[in-house]
């Protein structure tokens, strides 16, 4: 990505869960609802949360032998209410998004969440004016770590891989960006797994989203004044 680093960054593509929001309580609730509907025991939150941001089918296959398609259907029935209702904005996120918007960056969300959830979450937080495009899990044939969601985000922004930057908290975000390839920032996840993410050598690693602004200032040749 050394040649990429010579280009200015104009477009920002954000993962949603663990990067901008925390919907883990609603995800745990919907997963356990699905298990109950199938007569299966519930699982503790600490077992479910590390799977957030990854495809649901993989989690169900890891945790049970029950039919994944039926579990998925039960999950979505419950999640329409529980995931959106439980979602909270991670610290500093709204201020950072508004600042980036004011600076003229184009912004997209690329997530494994289905589109109905993405749109409801954006409405809930009043973010409609901040994002130029969304790519949801049901907009693509293959979800992250496949690069399709990032490529489609770039296309919907009318942008290019060379002037884009992906921001995410899981291995799938890093791998999807590297598959394009485009630059990628790893932000610490509230659900753990930071060591696995850092092992993939993202271009930048940050512990909170507010650290994104100085990275962009440096990449775009703006001088930052420190006091």
- Map tokens 């200015």 to a residue: 8
Enumerate residue ranges in the chain where pLDDT < 70.
Answer: 1-6, 223-227
Q: Which of 182, 186, 128 is nearest to 10 (CA)?
A: 182
| Whole-number pLDDT of residue 222 | 79
- DSSP strand pairing (183-187 vs 21-22): unpaired
Q: Is the dihedral of CA 199, 108, 114, 92 positive or negative?
A: positive
CA dist., res. 176 & res. 174, Å (int):
6
Of residues 160, 153, 155, the one with CA closest to residue 168 = 153
- The residues that bridge with 106 in the sheet, in sequence order, are 11
Helix (H, G, I), strand (E, B) or coil at 107: strand
Q: What is the pLDDT of residue 55?
A: 87
Q: What is the pLDDT of residue 227?
A: 47
How far is 202 from 187, CA to CA, in rounded Å?
Answer: 10
Residue 226, pLDDT score? 54
């Amino acid at each position: 990505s050394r040649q990429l680093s010579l280009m200015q960054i104009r477009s920002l593509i954000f993962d949603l869960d663990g990067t901008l929001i925390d919907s883990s309580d609603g995800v745990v609730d919907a997963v356990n609802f699905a298990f109950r509907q199938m007569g299966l025991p519930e699982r503790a939150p600490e077992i479910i949360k590390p799977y957030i941001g990854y495809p649901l089918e993989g989690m169900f296959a890891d945790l049970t032998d029950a039919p994944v398609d039926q579990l998925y259907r039960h999950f979505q029935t419950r999640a329409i209410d529980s995931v959106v209702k439980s979602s909270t904005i991670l610290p500093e996120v709204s201020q950072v998004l508004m600042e980036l918007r004011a600076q003229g960056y184009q912004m997209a969300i690329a997530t494994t969440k289905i589109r109905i959830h993405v749109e409801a979450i954006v409405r809930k937080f009043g973010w409609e004016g901040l994002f130029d495009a969304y790519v949801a899990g049901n907009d693509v044939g293959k979800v992250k770590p496949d690069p399709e969601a990032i490529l489609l985000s770039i296309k919907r922004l009318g942008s290019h891989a060379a002037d884009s930057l992906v921001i995410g908290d899981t291995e799938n975000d890093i791998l999807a960006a590297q598959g394009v390839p485009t630059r990628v920032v790893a932000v610490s996840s509230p659900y753990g797994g930071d060591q696995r993410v850092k092992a993939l050598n993202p271009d930048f690693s940050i512990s909170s989203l507010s650290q994104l602004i100085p990275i962009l200032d440096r990449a775009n040749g703006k001088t930052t004044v420190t006091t």
